[in-house]
């Protein structure tokens, strides 16, 4: 009848539930490594798989998934990234004219559904990419004429013009013909709609489950030709924010954490049982200029583009480059965890990267920037602190930044500030990545702070600046006839040394012509629980990442620390039991007081 | 007869309001200059032919009024999310349960405690307890609800580690009782934030409603009859004062839904509120449109229920 | 005592009576002078009552304090202290708690690649950061002081717009009645039903993010509450005898509204304005937090947005998270207390018996 006893009872039962929950939480075992079950390596990441559809692969964990589940024609050497045996043996047979390459495919390899893998699958994959214009992999095919498989173990790659494409190695996952043949000839949308879970591949693992936004799980391939993995299951877990990922690593909810932001990475340095790893990431951040709208920069059906005409001037672009304090970007945006940006080829690829020496480097020099702008005629005539165009027109630029990317906005803000400091009226505009694609395609920007992933073969990076990529992968439709010539030369030469020379020249050319400013080379900051697993390696050694390689080899060496897995030390979150007890005591006291008062006043009921 | 006409009138009004919302939704997003098809393709460039095919498939090449008719007659076809290319209804469907739990539990708790405190406050009007409570209520009312959540998170999760710092569940493979405990632990701080945020409002409304009622004649009569305070309160004053509370709670549902956007963002709680925040961040217009519709529909329906309930409880309104 | 009801004052001067209070001046004054004198007396009476209201006075003092801070912002820190480039140029330490700090140097271990932060006082003096620094190294206290301007200005301007639209529509509906009123009332109801945050998000996405657009969004989502309030009050005022009298005498609608209706609505509009400022400041904070604010300016809500985005909440950086929220709470509370005080004085029903 009266409310108070009921409320008290409810409160007490809630407290009891809370106590039991707190105790239960302290004893709970995370899913990571239950004793007696399959040995599972759980890696946490703030990225998710975009899609397990091989031809939709673009970003984030997509390439991880591809390397784990599929094989390539040739592999990258673990230490040097040079070509080595993959599904085919290296080196293949090269015809005297350099146009026909014959590969011997290894035998005894099976797809995860038991069907044998043959050269026909290899030929099918390359033909599929070529015939259906699967853009992500097209560039590795070179100027291909045909792909054939005369028998089960021979694969022949014919080119129209010579190139090193067949031995680069081509970064193409080999897919099973018997799964994908029904999509051959269909439109891109239909091909990319295929779910591909579970995924049939020949790799060290095969994907068995994917819950978007939560996790993806792959089982080990016991019969893998490269050697069976020493773990049974590989799970990638998605975390919404890096702080949660850090806590998960400390609690033991995950065994490894991939690509942590610098601030969080610093916080786990002193945690027990955690080994951290700093490596060169496969990514550079850049400030790219837009040329679309300039005379000659267009593609069939291209939009007019809104690039500010001042960006055509090399002096203006150089001035902007000199106004940027790259060391400050490294120190303040990435907390020191990145390399100073110079050329478009990542320093990781030591055989290709060219490093300008001190006299050639365009460092931080507002004085040089100011004098270059004066020389180009961009002076401040009306004394408002900002420069006008040579014709006296008001001049302003806009820097586009991308909210989804860790560093883009922070870098953009500093760059905008520095440009304003040298008298260029600049503003910042921040959009989501999908909106940025929209603006990029429409050519509707002056410059943006974005980035590119690198490739062991420099061709994919160098092609960003050729005319034919305008409307495809070119940032701003920059083109120059001298560059085109160099590009074609390196693309068609089969002589490695000659090619290296041309690639060096191209890097110098781009560095001097400033179609973009390379800001910094990102580093990958990862960590793992050394009390759970060991045997982590990197590719290439020693500067690669422990969780991002160019094949599945980095996973093959990982093994548990001891055969007997203890249950985890328990979650470190949970309301301490003393708090529950204190609350219980308070409720009892209050309840007692209420009951006493009730007793007194019930004497004078009606 | 009066009650049925009242009911009908309210339902018709609700429909009209929903139509207004749908129309506003349609035109607002047509003003946007962005090409919705280009957004969907992201990194995979389409040839112009493919792009034109998609435009045709989504009916974007038809005249505006035709698009409008299609839109109005299919209010539930929400298209694909720009960000994930998955159907918006799927994306929303996954998030409903966490939000219902959060908003539902918060509403129940804040109503119960708000009413109880409002009653005590009104009865002891002018006392130190009442004044202190008024000032506390005003303080919580002035606090941005998401910031209160940030402080709770900072203190109880990030520093003391009593509760998890984010999410809906910690272990996706847990089942049964362990799963319920997991969810409960993740709910404590977000629910506390929302509850306290609206608790003050309810207590104030209950308080002033009860004060109004207490000044009415029939209460004076009951007192004059010699009935003790407690019984006057319980049997006469409170039931009458509860009338506006019922409708207020239902009406405030809209505000609580809105409050969930900030709170879910702070706690990275994967509900509809966080979905809205992510949609803003990624400029995912189909999701934004759907959330706008959902929020509006929820409030319109809540208003309708409130009107009907009020009409049921208070016959005077029906006969008007 | 409440403000004198205007409808009991005669329009023309009355002859002086022997014991009817303070004597009138010998000269006969114009109606306008009388009205102004009356209003001045009413205002001083109001001010006397307000001074006795403890809650209201506390609120007012706090408000004045914050307005002074906002106006005198350059005295506390130069505007450049809110830019990232200035912090970079001065080598200000990143994410340090309140206290004395020098700049930080980074030391990279060549073998492991690990970077350690070391406080280096060799070529920089110790600087006092009362509220520490944020993720870009900017002093949080400088951000709070300059953020006050944006938060207050947006709150005030949005309120002016809200009141213009809301009171305008409310008065129009109440005054003209009939079909105009029913259309306007329907419009008001529609805007009341739509949850403000959903409408705000959609509008902000469509209009784009700028200071003016945020003000517009807040006004569009808030006017309906004011309109409903004003309309209800206007309906009662419009039926009063002197309004009918004015109409019968041939006064134009404009004259009737401005000279008779508006002055009577003034108390309730005044109270509502103050409370609306409180809500507008909260609304701006919420919208900025969600990322819909002006990216170029720093308001208290923007500081919280940046803190949340940088993981300050989960990272335990309380000096970045606490101050903006405290500032918002205190200012909104101050406006609310003033508003309640004004409401108590002008609305007799609310006062205790």
pLDDT digits (tens, 9 = 90+) for C200-255: 888 887 777 888 999 999 999 999 989 988 888 888 887 777 777 877 787 777 77
> Is A266 in CB contact (< 8 Å) with chain C?
yes
Q: Please choose, from the candidates A310, A505, A286, the residue with its C-alpha nearest in 3D space to the C-alpha of residue A405.
A: A286
Least confident of A125-134, A213-222, C227-236, C260-269: C260-269
pTM of the entire structure?
A: 0.84
3-state secondary structure of A290: coil
Is the pLDDT higher at C4 or at A313? Answer: A313
| Percentage above 70 pLDDT, chain B | 79
Alpha-carbon gap: A269 to the closest alpha carbon of chain C (Å): 9
Across the interface, do B17 and C193 touch by the CB < 8 Å criterion?
yes
Q: What are phi and psi of A275, to 5 degrees?
A: -105, 130
Task: Check whether A127 has a pLDDT greater than 90.
Answer: yes
Angstrom distance (rounded) from CA A520 to CA A262: 14
The residue whose two tokens read 């003000």 is: C215
Alpha-carbon gap: B40 to the closest alpha carbon of chain A (Å): 8
> Is B261 in CB contact (< 8 Å) with chain C?
yes
HSE-CB at A129 with a 13 A cutoff on CA atoms is 28
Across the interface, do B162 and A574 touch by the CB < 8 Å criterion?
yes
Candidate ranges A405-414, B8-17, B39-48, B222-231; pick with highest mean pLDDT: A405-414
Best probe of the A interface among C85, C134, C310, by most A CBs < 10 A, is C85
3-state secondary structure of A291: coil
Q: Which residues of A touch C291 (CB under 8 A)?
A: 403
- Residues A530 and A459 sit within 8 Å (Cβ to Cβ): no
**Section B217-233 average pLDDT:** 70
Q: Which residues of C touch B285 (CB under 8 A)?
A: 205
**Section C168-175 average pLDDT:** 87
Tens of pLDDT, residues B94-138: 888 999 899 989 988 988 888 888 888 887 777 787 888 888 888
pLDDT of residue A370: 95
Structure tokens at A499: 């090619």
Is the pLDDT higher at A402 or at C347? Answer: A402
Angstrom distance (rounded) from CA A374 to CA A370: 6
**Secondary structure in 3-state letters for A83-150:** EEECCECCCCEECCCCCEEEEEECCCCECCCCCECCHHHHHHHHHHHHHCCCHHHHHHHCCEEEEEEE
Q: Please choose, from the candidates A233, A210, A209, the residue with its C-alpha nearest in 3D space to the C-alpha of residue A221.
A: A233
Q: Which residues of A touch B171 (CB under 8 A)?
A: 28, 30-31, 253
Q: In this complex, which of B141, B143, B280 lies closest to C290 when CB atoms are compared? A: B280
Q: In this complex, which of C195, C203, C329 lies closest to B295 when CB atoms are compared? A: C195
Candidate ranges A493-507, B160-174, C195-209; pick with highest mean pLDDT: A493-507
Least confident of A466-480, B215-229, C173-187: B215-229
Least confident of A318-332, B62-76, B127-141: B62-76
CATH topology of domain C43-77+137-350: MetI-like fold (1.10.3720)
Task: Check whether B317 has a pLDDT greater than 70.
Answer: no
Angstrom distance (rounded) from CA C263 to CA A535: 83
Q: What are phi and psi of C189, to 5 degrees?
A: -60, -40
Alpha-carbon gap: B92 to the closest alpha carbon of chain C (Å): 15
Closest residue in C to B144 (Cα) is C282
Across the interface, do B185 and A574 touch by the CB < 8 Å criterion?
yes
Number of neighbours of residue A80 by Cβ within 10 angstroms = 14
Provide CB contacts within 8 A for A531, sequence distance 6+. A273, A561
Whole-number Cα distances in Å, B74 to B24, B68, B71, B78, C98: 15, 10, 5, 9, 57
> Is B132 in CB contact (< 8 Å) with chain C?
no
| Percentage above 90 pLDDT, chain C | 39
Across the interface, do A410 and C296 touch by the CB < 8 Å criterion?
no
Domain ranges of chain C: 43-77+137-350
Task: Check whether B268 has a pLDDT greater than 90.
Answer: no
Q: Which residues of C touch A248 (CB under 8 A)?
A: none
Angstrom distance (rounded) from CA B231 to CA A2: 11
Q: Which residues of B touch A187 (CB under 8 A)?
A: 50, 53
Q: CA C14, C17, C22: angle at the middle one, nearest 5?
A: 90
HSE-CB at C74 with a 13 A cutoff on CA atoms is 0
Q: What are phi and psi of C249, to 5 degrees?
A: -75, 0
Whole-number Cα distances in Å, B119 to A308, B205, C81: 67, 10, 50
ipTM over 0.85: no
Q: What are phi and psi of B221, to 5 degrees?
A: -65, -45
Q: Which residues of C touch B288 (CB under 8 A)?
A: 201-202, 205
Q: To the nearest whole number, what is the mean pLDDT of chain A? A: 85
Whole-number Cα distances in Å, C153 to A165, A596, B97, C71, C210: 62, 55, 40, 11, 14
Across the interface, do A605 and B83 touch by the CB < 8 Å criterion?
no
Least confident of B138-147, B284-293, B302-311: B302-311
Angstrom distance (rounded) from CA A555 to CA A349: 21
Least confident of A278-282, B205-209, C333-337: B205-209
Give the dihedral sign, CA B233/B235/B240/B244: positive
Structure tokens at A184: 């051959």
pLDDT of residue B189: 93
Interface of B with C in 90-129 (CB under 8 A): 126
- Residues C299 and C210 sit within 8 Å (Cβ to Cβ): no
Alpha-carbon gap: C321 to the closest alpha carbon of chain B (Å): 8
Closest residue in A to B49 (Cα) is A187
Tens of pLDDT, residues C299-353: 999 999 999 988 898 888 999 999 999 999 999 999 999 988 888 887 765 544 3
pLDDT of residue B161: 85
Q: To the nearest whole number, what is the mean pLDDT of chain B? A: 79
Best probe of the B interface among C97, C193, C283, by most B CBs < 10 A, is C193
pLDDT of residue B43: 38
E strand intervals along A425-531 = 425-431, 447-453, 516-529
Paired with A103 in beta bridges are A155
3-state secondary structure of B208: helix
Task: Check whether C296 has a pLDDT greater than 50.
Answer: yes
pLDDT of residue B232: 67
- CB pairs B-C closer than 8 Å: 133
pLDDT of residue A349: 86
Q: To the nearest whole number, what is the mean pLDDT of chain C? A: 84
């Amino acid at each position: 009848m009266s409310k108070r006893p009921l409320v008290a009872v409810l409160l007490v039962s809630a407290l009891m539930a809370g106590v039991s929950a707190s105790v239960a939480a302290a004893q709970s075992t995370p899913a990571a490594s239950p004793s007696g079950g399959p040995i599972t390596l759980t890696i946490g990441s703030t990225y998710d798989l975009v899609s397990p559809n091989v031809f939709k692969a673009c970003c984030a964990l997509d390439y991880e998934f591809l390397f784990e589940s599929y094989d390539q024609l040739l592999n990258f050497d673990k230490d040097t990234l040079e070509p080595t045996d993959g599904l085919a043996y290296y080196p293949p047979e090269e015809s005297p004219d350099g146009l026909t390459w014959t590969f011997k495919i290894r035998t005894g390899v099976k797809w995860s559904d038991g069907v044998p893998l043959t050269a026909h699958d290899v030929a099918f994959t390359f033909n599929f990419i070529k015939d259906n214009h699967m853009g992500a992999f097209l560039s590795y095919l070179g100027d291909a004429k045909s792909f054939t498989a005369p028998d089960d173990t021979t694969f022949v790659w014919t080119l129209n013009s010579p190139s090193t494409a067949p031995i680069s190695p081509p970064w193409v996952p080999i897919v099973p013909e018997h799964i994908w043949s029904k999509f051959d000839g269909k439109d891109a949308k239909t091909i990319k709609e295929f779910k591909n879970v579970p995924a049939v591949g020949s790799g060290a693992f095969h994907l068995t489950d994917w819950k978007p936004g939560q996790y993806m799980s792959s089982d080990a391939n016991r019969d893998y030709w490269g050697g069976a993995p020493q773990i049974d299951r590989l799970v990638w877990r998605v975390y919404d924010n890096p702080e949660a990922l850090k806590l998960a690593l400390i609690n033991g909810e995950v065994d490894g954490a991939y690509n942590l932001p610098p601030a969080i990475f610093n916080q786990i340095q002193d945690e027990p049982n955690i080994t951290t790893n700093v490596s060169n990431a496969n990514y550079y951040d850049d400030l790219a200029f837009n040329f679309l709208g300039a005379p000659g920069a267009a593609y069939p059906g291209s939009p007019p583009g809104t690039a500010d005409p001042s960006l055509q001037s090399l002096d203006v672009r150089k001035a902007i480059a000199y106004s940027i304090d790259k060391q400050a970007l490294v120190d303040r945006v990435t907390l020191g965890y990145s390399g100073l940006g110079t050329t478009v080829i990542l320093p990781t690829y030591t055989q290709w990267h060219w490093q300008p020496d001190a006299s050639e480097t365009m460092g931080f020099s507002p004085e040089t920037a100011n004098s270059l702008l004066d020389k180009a005629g961009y002076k401040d005539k009306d004394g408002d602190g900002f420069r006008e165009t040579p014709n006296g027109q008001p001049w302003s630029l806009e820097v586009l930044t991308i909210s989804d990317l860790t560093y883009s906005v922070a870098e953009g803000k500093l760059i905008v500030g520095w440009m304003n400091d040298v008298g260029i009226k600049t503003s910042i505009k921040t959009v989501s990545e999908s909106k940025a694609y929209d603006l990029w395609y429409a050519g509707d920007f002056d410059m943006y702070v974005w980035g590119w992933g690198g490739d062991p073969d420099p061709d994919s990076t160098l092609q960003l600046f050729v005319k034919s990529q305008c409307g495809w992968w070119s940032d701003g439709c920059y083109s120059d006839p001298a560059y085109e010539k160099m590009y074609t030369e390196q693309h068609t030469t089969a002589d490695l040394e000659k090619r290296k020379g041309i690639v060096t020249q191209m890097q110098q050319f781009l560095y001097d012509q400033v179609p973009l400013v390379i800001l910094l080379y990102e580093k990958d900051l990862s960590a793992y629980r050394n009390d759970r697993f060991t045997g982590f390696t990197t590719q290439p050694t020693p500067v690669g990442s422990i969780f991002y390689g160019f094949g599945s080899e980095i996973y093959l060496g990982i093994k548990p620390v001891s055969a007997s897995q203890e249950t985890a030390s328990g979650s470190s979150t949970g309301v301490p039991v003393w708090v529950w007890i204190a609350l219980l005591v308070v409720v009892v006291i209050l309840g007692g007081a209420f009951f006493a008062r009730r007793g007194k006043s019930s004497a004078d009921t009606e | 007869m009066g009650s049925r006409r009242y009911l009908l009138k309210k339902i018709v009004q609700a429909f009209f309001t929903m139509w207004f919302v749908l129309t506003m939704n349609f035109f607002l997003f047509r003003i946007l200059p962005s090409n919705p098809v280009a957004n969907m393709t992201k990194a995979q460039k389409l040839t112009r032919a493919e792009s034109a095919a998609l435009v045709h498939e989504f009916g974007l090449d038809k005249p505006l009024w035709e698009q409008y008719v299609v839109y109005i007659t299919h209010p539930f076809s929400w298209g694909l999310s720009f960000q994930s290319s998955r159907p918006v209804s799927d994306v929303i469907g996954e998030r409903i349960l966490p939000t219902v739990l959060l908003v539902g539990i918060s509403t129940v708790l804040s109503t119960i405690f708000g009413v109880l405190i409002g009653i005590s406050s009104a009865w002891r009007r002018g006392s130190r307890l009442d004044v202190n409570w008024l000032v506390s209520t005003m303080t919580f009312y002035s606090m941005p609800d998401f910031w209160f959540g940030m402080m709770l998170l900072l203190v109880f999760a990030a520093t003391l580690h009593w509760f998890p710092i984010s999410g809906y569940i910690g272990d996706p493979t847990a089942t049964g009782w362990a799963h319920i405990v997991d969810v409960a632990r993740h709910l404590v701080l977000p629910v506390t934030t929302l509850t306290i945020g609206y608790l003050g409002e309810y207590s104030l409304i209950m308080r002033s409603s009860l004060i109004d009622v207490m000044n009415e004649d029939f209460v004076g009569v009951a007192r004059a009859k010699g009935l003790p305070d407690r019984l006057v309160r319980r049997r006469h004053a409170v039931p009458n004062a509860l009338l506006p509370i019922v409708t207020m709670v239902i009406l405030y549902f809209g505000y609580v839904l809105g409050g969930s956007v900030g709170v879910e963002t702070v706690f990275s709680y994967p509900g509809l509120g966080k979905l809205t925040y992510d949609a803003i961040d990624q400029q995912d217009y189909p999701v934004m449109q759907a959330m706008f519709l959902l929020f509006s529909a929820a409030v319109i329906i809540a208003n309708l229920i409130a009107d009907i309930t009020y009409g049921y409880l208070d016959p005077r309104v029906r006969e008007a | 005592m409440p403000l004198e009801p205007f409808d009991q004052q005669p329009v023309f001067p009355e002859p002086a009576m022997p014991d009817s209070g303070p004597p009138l001046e010998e000269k006969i004054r114009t109606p306008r002078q009388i009205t102004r004198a009356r209003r001045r007396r009413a205002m001083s009476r109001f001010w006397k009552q307000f001074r006795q209201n403890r809650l209201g006075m506390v609120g007012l003092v706090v408000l004045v304090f914050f307005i002074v801070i906002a106006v005198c912002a350059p005295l506390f820190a130069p505007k450049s202290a809110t830019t990232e480039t200035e912090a970079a140029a001065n080598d200000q330490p990143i994410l340090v708690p309140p206290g004395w700090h020098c700049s930080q140097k980074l030391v990279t271990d060549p073998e492991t690649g690990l970077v350690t932060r070391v406080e280096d006082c060799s070529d920089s003096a110790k600087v006092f950061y009362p509220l520490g620094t944020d993720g870009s190294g900017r002093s949080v206290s400088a951000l709070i002081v300059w953020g006050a301007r944006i938060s207050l200005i947006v709150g005030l301007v949005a309120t002016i717009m809200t009141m213009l639209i809301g009171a305008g529509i409310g008065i129009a509906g109440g005054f003209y009645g009939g079909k105009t009123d029913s259309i306007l009332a329907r419009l008001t109801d529609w805007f009341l039903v739509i949850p403000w945050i959903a409408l705000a998000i959609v509008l902000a996405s469509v209009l784009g993010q700028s200071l003016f657009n945020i003000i517009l969004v807040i006004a569009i989502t808030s006017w309906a509450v004011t309109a409903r309030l004003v309309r209800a009050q206007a309906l009662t005022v419009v039926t009063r005898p002197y309004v009918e009298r004015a109409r019968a005498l041939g006064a134009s609608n404009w004259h009737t509204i401005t000279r008779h209706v508006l002055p009577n609505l003034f108390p309730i509009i005044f109270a509502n304005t103050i409370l609306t400022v409180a809500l507008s400041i909260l609304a701006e904070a919420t919208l900025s937090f969600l990322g819909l604010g002006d990216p170029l300016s720093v308001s208290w809500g923007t500081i919280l947005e940046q803190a949340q985005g940088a993981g300050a909440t989960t990272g335990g950086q309380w000096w970045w998270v606490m101050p903006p929220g405290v500032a918002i709470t205190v200012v909104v509370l101050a406006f609310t207390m003033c508003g309640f005080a004004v409401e108590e004085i002008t609305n007799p029903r609310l006062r205790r018996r």
